Amino acid sequence: MTKMTEITENVIAWMQPSVLVEDRPQLTNEEMELYISLRKKRTLRQKMLIQNRRDIYADRKKFFSKNIEQ
């Protein structure tokens, strides 16, 4: 089991897209691993939300197209 490090201000600074790469603070190896794992989780969560939204709209489209034909 991996040890979770505390989310420091440096990691938070890296998570903000408005901060230029050159202006971001240096991260330790543990902080960089934490940053990468957080980005993967965020990306996965966003992909799941997008897929759920697509499924909802596809279901609505099927529902409304059936009702219009009748």
Give the residue extent of every domain in the chain. Answer: 43-69
**Gyration radius of the chain's alpha carbons:** 20
**pLDDT band (50, 70, 90) for residue 4:** low
- Check: CB of residue 34 under 8 Å from CB of residue 11: yes
Which amino acid makes up residue 12? I
Q: Across all residues in the chain, what is the average pLDDT?
A: 80
Q: What is the pTM of this model?
A: 0.54
Q: How far apart are CA 4 and CA 28, in angstroms?
A: 14
- Check: CB of residue 4 under 8 Å from CB of residue 34: yes
Judged by phi (left if over 0) then psi (alpha if -120 to 50, else beta), residue 23 lies in alpha
